[in-house]
Amino acid sequence: MASTSGLRTTLSKMAASLTGLLKPWTPRVLLVRWSRYNPYYLEPEPRKEVYHIPETELTPEQKEERELKSVRPIKAATNSVTSSVFNDPVLSKFVNMMMKDGDKIIAKGIITQTLENMKRKQVEKYHKAPEGKKAEIECNPYAIFHQALENCKPVIGLASIQKGGKFYQVPIPLTDNRRRFLAMKWMITECRDNKHRRTLMYEKLSQELLAAFSKEGNVVKRKHELHKMAESNRAYAHYRWW
Amino acid sequence: MAASGGRTVGSFLWKCGNCCFNFNTVSSNLTRQVLSRQLCVSAVLHRKNLAAAGPEKFSEEFIKKQVEEFNIGKRHLANMMGEDPETFTQGDINRSIAYLFPSGLFDKKAKPLMKHPDEVFPKQRAVQWGADGRPFHFLFYTGKQSYYSLMHVSTGSLVGSRWLLKEELEELLVETISEHDYARFIQLMERLLSLPYCSVEEDFVQRYRRQLEIQSSKQQVQPLQYDQHGVAYSTGDGRRKTATGTVLLRDSGSGSISINGTNYVHYFPVLQDREQLMFPLHFMGVLGRFDMQCSVSGGGHSSQAGALRLAISRAMLSFLSEGQVETMRQAGLLTPDPRIKERKKPGQEGARRKFTWKKR
């Protein structure tokens, strides 16, 4: 590749061990979760506004981060990431989770239809509502999506821990990523399994998301059930050792 | 008998006398203390370090007032002595005071003194916490915050530098060293940096560190070319996962893009691919500025879009300044994506999928 040959000529003075860090590589011992990037590479930052903050308003940590970024190579931005205002990492994750057999076009299409459907329903409600109630109705589908997902996220989870031959359901704290994953997973499985066969996915999703937005519906019920189980198993909380 | 009696009486009297003498001295000490007046209230006379004792006893306004009074008094003294107030030094003050207030006392601390209030009043700490009661310094609750923060002074930024490599160290020392020796050396240097007061040895440590190169300097930027009408243009090419693309970027255009002869909307019906084409232009804010003629082959629609994105970013470099090149690099637009299809392994059905496990 043109870039790597250029790299090699400019790096001729540096020792071989450092040139090895900048090429696409395969690690010597292949772990299960490895990547073609050397761990030396840093994650890219595609948002525009981050680069327009003037020098004076940076904290010392941000200054150090900038210094580090200027000396380290950066990974390439993925296909689904842009600097556009419509690029939402949470929504992208949801699209990926809905995708079957790598067909992102269909998954993205369903999500777009869902957002449009939600907007239509909310605008209809808005026009039918009396003057006083109009301000409370949220019409932005992205805001509804985020709020609905927030309402579905469990605060505490259960883990199966073996003690003395028996398995106990022990309440454990969940990381942010895990909570988001569970909320999305419940939403998708609920829409796929528990709805009428003939309704289309976008219709099912928009119904469920609007219900979660107002804290009703099966997904928030499932979250509450998980919380109740964790509360009832409170006595086993000390079985957790981490 | 009489002599011994006399001696005991004498000794008894002597003892009484001693007691009386002691009694007298005690009472006279007390009277001396009651009758004596302290000439100067300065804490410098006291042995204890009052500064560390408790909260501030002298407020800032008080000290400021003292300083003003001292300066005015200095000028008065200079006028009295008939000397120039502007060039009146501390030595002159001392001599004037010794002349005007001759003291027969022997104790140096008892003699009259006129010094700058900063020397008289001990340095005190201002209030260590804000209006909400939260202390300013992160080590406040240790009790000795300045001492412990001194212990925690770290070396200058180690972010942009790396340790010497084994070969470079060998070159420096003019000796051969084994890998174990080198590993031990790095271990000890890291340990040195983790200890308090490591900033004292900063010079020593920096001798064994080398600055890392700034990555953006490795970007090769082609110079701008001009065609017969004077319009600037540049080319770029990119690859992604067996798709190769080339792009010709023309300045002062209207934002039209043609790929392999067809319009980009027809060539890439998927929104995501078109967004990828727009990404470098939108990031730099030059959406309507360039005209593009692209050609692409190989791969699928996503990899073609990725190849074109890289080609567009590389072609745009000629139009941009150094800082903008660095921001594009940090956004991940200039790195060729190294991800390829993972090979199929023998004994497995695919790259990861194993054959169906059969119990027997």
Cβ–Cβ contact B259 with A under 8 A: no
Sort out which chain B residues have CB atoms less than 8 A from A71's CB and list them: 159-160, 212-215
**What average pLDDT does range B30-39 have in this prediction?**
49
Q: Look at residue B291 and give its three-state secondary structure.
A: strand
**Rounded to whole angstroms, how far apart are CA atoms B116 and B75?**
13
Residue ranges, chain A, pLDDT below 70: 1-20
Cβ–Cβ contact B331 with A under 8 A: yes
Do the interacting molecules here have an ipTM over 0.95? no
Sort out which chain A residues have CB atoms less than 8 A from B305's CB and list them: 79
Residue A201 half-sphere exposure toward CB, CA atoms < 13 A: 16
Q: Look at residue A139 and give its three-state secondary structure.
A: coil
| Residue that is written with structure tokens 């020593």 in the block | B204
Rounded to a whole number of angstroms, the distance from the CA of B279 to the nearest CA of chain A is: 6
Cβ–Cβ contact A16 with B under 8 A: no
pLDDT at B43 over 80: no
**What average pLDDT does range B14-32 have in this prediction?**
45
| Average model confidence (pLDDT) across chain B | 82
Burial of A229 (0-12, 13-18, 19+ CB in 10 A): middle
| Residue that is written with structure tokens 């067909």 in the block | A103
**What average pLDDT does range B6-10 have in this prediction?**
42
- pLDDT at position A102: 93
Structure tokens at B348: 């497995």
- From the list A114, A80, A112, A77, the residue with the least C-alpha distance to A200 is A114
pLDDT at B139 over 90: no
Interface contact flag, B159 A64, Cβ < 8 Å:
yes
Best mutation target among B283, B303, B328 (most A Cβ atoms within 10 Å) is B283
Q: Which residue of chain A comes nearest to B323, CA vs CA?
A: A51
**Rounded to whole angstroms, how far apart are CA atoms B357 and B355?**
6
pLDDT at B256 over 60: yes
pLDDT class for B14, splitting at 50, 70, 90? Answer: very low
Give the predicted TM-score (pTM) of the model. 0.71
- From the list A129, A104, A114, the residue with the least C-alpha distance to A207 is A114
| Residue that is written with structure tokens 């932005």 in the block | A140
Picking from A185-189, B10-14, B107-111, which range would have the lowest pLDDT averaged per residue? B10-14
Chain segment A98-148, per-residue pLDDT in tens: 999 999 999 999 999 999 999 999 999 999 999 998 989 999 999 999 999
Taking a contact as any Cβ pair under 8 Å apart, which residues of chain B between 218 and 237 contact chain A? 218, 220, 237
User: What Rg do the C-alpha atoms of chain B give, in angstroms?
Assistant: 43
Sort out which chain B residues have CB atoms less than 8 A from A37's CB and list them: 338
